[in-house]
Structure 1
């Protein structure tokens, strides 16, 4: 059976997405605090899928070698996620390889998690690369976080302690807001006044 068939058809599954450092975490934390709605996070699922002794972990080790292991105070020999991110950032071939490996695994895991909440009328799924990874078919609606590039870049520099050039290049790896906007149902405006998106959420959830 196709894994998509495991989804409950009358369930409201909101795909929350947006560019890196656009404010998805802030919005997710608000929903978690004020609404009794299950929240599934693709990034958290990704971390689980590359833990030691998993299929994803072994595949990544086979591809990149032991250089990817975090040897500092790490008895479990876990993957150094920051190092992995830096490698695929600089190598498009490696980036494409790991996306082909992980995106289907994350999607299958997300669908399984949704099935665990089949009695919940509404679920929020936080999926940063929703369009890039083609997760549209598991969402009943898509909410996109809006944030000016200048503010997005500033947040990314502060958060990840990277240069302006690195932040610019990282943001450019993803689809632009304009491209995502055409494919989204709801815009959560996180430009300056957070009351804009709070009011939108209050109206819709």
Structure 2
């Protein structure tokens, strides 16, 4: 069983690529964001540490046992505070990586899938190359990414510039990844690239 890491800039269409993988290959897909949300649910490991450090004011119903974390409140606290954002990431990211590592082990033991794909925005920065056989970069040209972000998320040019500036450059992604999938065009072109690459591992 092969383990591949999927990464790329915002607007590159990673979700589309993951959907194509699920639909066309015998693969399990793990998304770090979904794992993070799950670990932040009441009673789970990240939830307990976040509430301990940031206080009950970040909960939907402070003082009520089992109250969920209000992600908007938490985002408001960390968005413009680099130190608090680093604290939050320092809690969540190691727990997410630990869970994903263990989940890969469970999938491997089940012997059900030929491939596992792990998608994480910080795949490179959090050193997922340690647990992946290869890292794949999902690329789309800047104009395409801007159009997607404006239409799907309603981002302004200023917002897009800010997000782009906070992420790795195209050159940095390419230098860390073994494969590049151009997702600038239609889904059939992307699927064709996936079939060609995955064909090497059959």
TM-score by length of 2: 0.85
Please name the residue that 2:2 is paired with. 12
Please name the residue that 2:27 is paired with. 37
Query: Aligned pair 1:94/2:84, yes or no?
Result: yes
Aligned residue among 89, 93, 111 for 2:101: 111
Aligned residue among 165, 175, 196 for 2:168: 175
Contact 1:188 1:196 in 2 (8 A): no
Please name the residue that 1:5 is paired with. none
Q: 1:122 to 1:17 in 2, by over 3 A?
A: same
Contact 1:132 1:175 in 2 (8 A): no
Identify unmatched segments of 5+ residues in structure 2.
none
**For 1:132 and 1:32, how far apart are their aligned partners in 2?**
25
Count how many residue pairs are aligned between Structure 1 and Structure 2.
193
Within 5 Å, which residues of 2 pair with 1:69-88? 69-71=59-61, 76-88=66-78
For residue 21 of structure 1, give the secondary structure of its aligned residue in structure 2: coil
Aligned residue among 121, 131, 134 for 2:127: 134
For residue 95 of structure 1, report the CA deviation from its aligned partner. 1.6
For residue 27 of structure 2, give the secondary structure of its aligned residue in structure 1: coil
Deviating above 6 A after TM superposition, structure 1's stretches of 4 or more consecutive aligned residues are: none
Identify unmatched segments of 5+ residues in structure 1.
1-10
Q: 1:160 to 1:81 in 2, by over 3 A?
A: farther
Contact 1:88 1:95 in 2 (8 A): yes
Q: 1:188 to 1:87 in 2, by over 3 A?
A: farther
Please name the residue that 2:185 is paired with. 192
For residue 114 of structure 1, report the CA deviation from its aligned partner. 0.5
For residue 75 of structure 1, report the CA deviation from its aligned partner. 9.0
For each residue in 1:42-88, what CA deviation from the matched residue of structure 2 results, as whole angstroms up to 9, or x when unmatched?
111111111112221122122222332235xx995212223433432
